[in-house]
A and B are shown apart, each in its own frame.
Chain A
Amino acid sequence: MSPLQLIFILVSAITLGAALMVVTTRNMVRAALWLVLTLFGVAILFVLLEAGFFAVAQVIIYIGAIAILMIFAIMLTRRIAHDPGPQINTTWPIAAVIALVVFGLIVFFVQGWEKTVSQPAPFPPGFDPLRELGVALVSANQYLIPFEIASILLLAALIGAIVIAWDKK
């Protein structure tokens, strides 16, 4: 087994384990920290996929902003002298069954698909995916318009979040 395969198996096992802890642990701040570990594992997988920019973007956006925002929200919405109670719905067996059925269906279809290549083709020399991504995002005949619309979406979310959370005293 090549080192890359070993690294993949190790990292995906840790990531899936941490994801399971996110959805089952009772203490919310612990769940947020397990989420950070999951997001970091996914960032390592992005490095294995030779998408280095996405690995660092994942760490900056998800761990550096979203996870910290979640930790702040958990700390601000905690009632100190409050019994947390059961953190899981009473209908959780049905949820587990649904999740397992969806997983089984996806695995069945992936195994039966004839295009699952076992090795990615190497990049042609001089092909820089970072540079190509940059060119694609600002070229008028490629993906400029979705890029601009995403900026407007972020601006709307920024204004919306401030307005919603404004404390009108």
Chain B
Amino acid sequence: MKIGLIAFVMIWWATVSVAHQLLVFAFVEDGTVIVETKFSTGKIPVSGDVRVLDAQNAVLMTLELQSDGTVQFPLDPALSAQGLLIEVATGEGHDNYWILTPDDIARATKETQ
């Protein structure tokens, strides 16, 4: 009985861990890049690493995800001229990314002017 329960919990945990996905979204507002994350279940990740890369895949900075599942950083026009790739990895082994192209950034900058 006990073994059966343990097996059930292990199977349930494995199922849960593969069935939800980390969702990443990033946008520019008032000169700030805002990164927001959540799991497809609606749950907010409370920790994780955020890597910001340029168009050549060079890491520009690494930030820690805040407890509300977001992180912000100032937009550097020089570094972001060719766009930004935002990668997020959470402690649960989930990762995903969002691409901000030069057009995305320019459009957002124009909207907030």
**A and B pair up:** no
Chain A interface residues (CB < 8 Å from chain B): none
Chain B interface residues (CB < 8 Å from chain A): none
